[in-house]
Amino acid sequence: MGQGRGWEGAVLKLMRAKDFAFTVTDTEDVTPHYRRLRLTDGGMLAATGVHPTMWVRLWFDNAGRPHQRGYTLVDPDPVAGTFALEFALHEGCASDWARAAKPGDTIEATVQGSGFEEPRPLPSRVFAVADPASLPALNSLLDALGPVPATVWFEGDPADGLPLRTVPGRHEVRAVPRRDAGARLVARVKEELPELLRAASEPYVWIACDTATTRTLAAYARKELGVPKQRVNALGYWRAT
């Protein structure tokens, strides 16, 4: 494995990334636009261990050229060597692969760069900004932080059958429709976050949306609202075109 992946594959190899092959065992259409695949890990979890929000790079064929995308593991079981992956379906080679995937199909993956550092001190409240693409990571974060309350701005309709693992009374979800390439979401967060931050003694801001939205909101939280850099975790999950 790892051959023919161009400069991205070469760089990952130099960074001591590990390669594995995953095998699909089951598929589930959660909604018409959201698909869950269950897979065996090819020995990965025994070799790497497991941590919250753990993600891997999958390699897809894009018209004969390699294309890699990161996906968060859902319910990894290191004893059984299994996990699930969830795909927000749209146009593109990754979604095309997920739509057509069936038991027995395999895909190559690289593990490098995934990590999780639990915020210390623990947050008094989490302020999360997410969308269907980052939903598995959001769920993993909320699971890891247990009883910590959270306010979540979710770009999309969580009532549309998406598997949000929010707990009533602990997690407040504020749904925001995607409008104007994410501008509606940015405006809502900027309108509502400042007042909420004033009531939080130990805030933790977690942002995982399209790259432009993520950068804008991360800079806003750090520079304009004064949230310490170590209390802001931001990662762009996809690029709007």
d(CA 26, CA 20): 19
Q: Residue 112 — φ and ψ, nearest 5°?
A: -170, 130
The answer to whether the bond into 66 is cis (omega within 30° of 0) is no
- How many Cβ atoms sit within 10 Å of the Cβ of residue 189? 25
HEC per residue, 179-195: CHHHHHHHHHHHHHHHH
CATH homologous superfamily, domain 6-111: Translation factors (2.40.30.10)
Q: Which CATH class is domain 125-234?
A: alpha beta
Taking the whole predicted model, whether its pTM rises above 0.85 is answered as: yes
pLDDT digits (tens), the chain, 241 positions: 444 555 455 544 444 468 999 999 999 999 999 999 999 999 999 999 999 999 999 999 999 999 999 999 999 999 999 999 999 999 899 999 999 999 999 999 999 767 788 899 999 999 999 999 999 999 999 999 999 999 999 999 887 899 999 999 999 999 999 988 889 999 999 999 999 999 999 999 999 999 999 999 999 999 999 999 999 999 888 787 6
Evaluated on CA atoms 140, 145, 147, 149, the torsion sign reads negative
Ranges of beta strands (E only) in 53-124 are 55-62, 65-72, 74-77, 82-88, 106-111
Domain locations in the chain as residue ranges: 6-111, 125-234
